Amino acid sequence: MAVSASMSVDNAAPDHGATITVTYEVTGNVAIPPEGATIRGGVIVGGEPFELSASMVKPGTPAATEEFQLPTCEGLTFAATGDPHIWTAVVP
């Protein structure tokens, strides 16, 4: 499954003294985690929807790890939060 990553800021035009929050998001996975994964989907037959799922198990395959770098921007000092995906900075 392909992996993609993005970074967003909650306020692209902050006032002086405002706190901005940067959030990293990673979608997809590099490996099926040892506990397995579920694929969900559906089909419509004669106008009636059917929800479907399939399980994948690959014992011994380690889950992908995520490491998030400290965001940088001239004039801002970012601080880590309790969530490794999220960083904050106060606009001077």
Tens of pLDDT, residues 20-63: 999 998 877 556 666 777 778 888 888 888 888 877 776 555 55
* Domain encompassing residue 82: 4-90
| Number of domains the chain is built from | 1
- Say what the pTM is: 0.60
Helix (H) / strand (E) element for 36: namely none
Closest listed residue to residue 66, CA positions, set 84, 88, 81: 84
Residue located via tokens 């990553």: 5
